[in-house]
Amino acid sequence: KMSKKHLKVGLKAQAPIFLVNAPLTNIIICDDSFWCVEDGNRLVINLQKLNQMEWWEAICDGDPKIDVKKVQPENSNLNDLDGETRQTVEKMMFDQRQKAMGLPSSDEQNKASMLEKFKKQHPELDFSQAKMN
């Protein structure tokens, strides 16, 4: 049995034997989590994390913890992503590099470009005293 904050795994018998019966350390999405039996003797449990951007130190409260700072994520290939996701990731990578160099992000560049275009379209307006942030 799974709930967003609890996992219960056991064997049905006259006196049920619970292998796991503990609160989860983080919240899961129950509708996207599932279990199955493989090869007739292996239970596979797939828990879908609510927060995909964090590593869990442990699955259940009381489990041994790992040092998440030492976890090496798999290298991912941009070619494996769909077009929209790939564009988003590439934009984020570009913005991160720009920030590291102290340069404007793509959004900031777009805003500056739009402002320059507006200034050219309206030469009658005086922007010399305007404060831009």
Per residue in 50-106, pLDDT tens? 988 888 999 999 999 999 888 877 777 888 888 888 899 889 989 999 998 999 999
Q: What are phi and psi of 108, to 5 degrees?
A: -65, -40
pLDDT tier, 26 (very low <50, low <70, confident <90, very high otherwise)? very high
pLDDT tier, 12 (very low <50, low <70, confident <90, very high otherwise)? confident
Q: What is the CA radius of gyration of the chain?
A: 25
Fold topology of 1-73: Immunoglobulin-like (2.60.40)
Q: What is the pLDDT of residue 133?
A: 67
Residue 7: closest CA among 21, 28, 27:
21
Q: How far is the C-alpha of 50 from the C-alpha of 4, rounded, in Å?
A: 9
Q: How far is the C-alpha of 120 from the C-alpha of 129, rounded, in Å?
A: 17
pLDDT tier, 24 (very low <50, low <70, confident <90, very high otherwise)? very high
Q: Where in the chain is the domain with CATH 2.60.40.790?
A: 1-73
Q: Which residues contact 5 (CB under 8 A, 6 or more apart)?
A: 23, 24, 27, 28
Q: What is the value of pTM for the model shown?
A: 0.53
